[in-house]
Structure 1
Amino acid sequence: MCKVLIVYYSMYGHIYKMAEAVAEGVREVAGCEAIIKRVPETLSDEVLGMMGALEAQKSMAHIPVATVDDLAGADAIIFGTPTRFGNMCGQMRQYLDATGQLWMSGALVGKPGSVFASSATQHGGQESTILSFHTTLLHQGMVVVGLPYAFAGQMGISEITGGSPYGASTIAGGKGERLPSDNELAGARYQGAHVARIALKLK
């Protein structure tokens, strides 16, 4: 089987829902297996409670925590992160900053890497987050994969929606009140299948 690892961080569950859709897309491709893992939390339960995120964190507690070695064992990796000031969240950054040994050994060279994201508002940094994330993937020698315009859902103007050629994304709302739309989830599924097909060819 071609192993496609989906590694995400989600504070309130939006990116987790997108990760599930990405996994559905991966599973549409015969011969590919989707594995979902979350990066380690860096905030205490007290802080998460003050941010109103503790219940959401508990609902994701069944998802295994990713280790750096998980990256080396995958045939492709799709990363999911919320936006923090136009960049990836601190939890994801800390996880990636521990991959120096993988860089030294070239363990990720030639593997497809892809990114999906969320932000509070329509122009809250979804594209800059994904593009700046790509820098890390390129330093690791990965093959960067986006969300092609073959996914027609990013061409429409009839609704406010995430999604760009850089990757699937969703708009969460200023208070996290908006869940991923059908179109955004469709983009995530398409991206998952797209990465899986490329990974299968490269494998």
Structure 2
Amino acid sequence: MSQANILVVFYSRHGSVAAMAKHIARGVQKVPNAHAVIRQLPEASFSHEQTSPALPEDGYPYCEVEDFAACDGLAIGSPSYFGSMAAPVKLMLDQTSPIWMSGQLADKPACGFASASTMHGGHEMTIQSMMIPLLHHGMIWAGLPYKNKDLIHTATGGTPYGVTHFAPHTQYTGLSDEEIALCEAQGQRIAELATKLKKH
């Protein structure tokens, strides 16, 4: 069986979403024949133009539309800005129109992850905002089922829509044990679904 490539793409302002992406990728790697491809998104201006340099100074390579086209499954992450995805994530999704026209993401699994600085800062709405354009692409949304017991016991991040992180401080101070476990469960689930769907 050929390898299933899972694109883990994110924008992170203070490090929380980047940390989540790493643990989601670890969950992907637990699945035989699955490989995590991690990509970050650059800053964007309010005029919807990229303002970051062409190459990142550190971290992962910047995401390109071709990364979306080549994936067999997708995990997309963003901090919450007033209950919605950050501008760099929206800008990237807006650029995927050519592969929407050709249906290249149809019937592939997708999930979302998010971080907010308050407990009621829009965790679930942020994930839903990323979900909508991916449903237009024909992707199959994969939330986080309650068979993951950490989802029941967490006092920080969670949600059945997708894994989240509660980040009460501007500076990244680390994920909770439950958040780490849920990130890895989310990555494992999207990889398992992608490998199953790729067989057919």
Q: Decide: shared fold, TM above 0.5.
A: yes
Deviation track 1:125-145 (CA, whole Å, cap 9, x = no partner) reads 001111222111111100001
Report the secondary structure of 1:84's partner residue.
coil
Residue 129 in 1 paired to residue 126 in 2? Answer: yes
The structural deviation recorded for 1:154 is: 1.0
What residue number does 1:39 align with?
Answer: 41
Does residue 100 of structure 2 align to residue 111 of structure 1? no
Contact 1:171–1:178 at 8 Å: present in 2 too? no
**1:66: Cα distance to partner?**
0.5
Residues 14 and 172, structure 2, Cα contact 8 Å, conserved in 1: no
Q: CA deviation at 1:174?
A: 4.3
Aligned to 2:86: 89
Deviation at 1:101, TM superposition (A): 0.6
| Alpha-carbon displacement from aligned partner over 1:164-190 (angstroms, at most 9, x marks no partner) | 110000011143354211110110000
Q: Percent identity?
A: 39
Unmatched 5+ stretches in structure 1 = 44-56
Q: Is structure 2 residue 184 aligned with structure 1 residue 182?
A: no
TM-score in terms of structure 2 length: 0.89
Gap runs ≥5 in structure 2: 46-55
Alpha-carbon separation, structure 1, partners of 2:177 and 2:18: 15
> Aligned Cα RMSD in Å?
1.3
Tell me how far 1:114 sits from its aligned partner: 0.6
Q: Deviations over 1:114-159 (max 9, x none)?
A: 1000000111100111122211111110000111111110111xx5
Residues 15 and 172 of structure 2 are in contact (CA less than 8 Å); yes or no, is this contact kept in structure 1?
no
- Code of the aligned partner of 1:74: C
Amino acid in the other structure paired with 1:193? Q
1:47 counterpart residue number: none
Rounded Cα–Cα distance in structure 2 between residues aligned with 1:193 and 1:130 = 18
CA displacement, residues 64-108 of structure 1 (integer Å, 9 cap, x when unaligned): 100011101010010011000000000100111111111111111
Mapping 1:16-27, distance limit 5 Å: 16-27=18-29
Residues 162, 105 of structure 1: alpha-carbon distance in 2 compared, 3 angstrom cutoff: same
**Equivalence map 1:4-15=2 (5 Å):** 4-15=6-17
The alignment covers a number of residue pairs equal to 186
User: What does residue 48 of structure 1 align with?
Assistant: none
Letter in 2 for 1:118: S
Task: Report how far residue 161 of structure 1 moved.
Answer: 1.1
- Give the distance between the partners of 2:31 and 2:105, measured in 1 at CA: 22
Structure 2 residue 162 is matched with structure 1 residue 160: no
1:169 to 164, 169, 172: 164
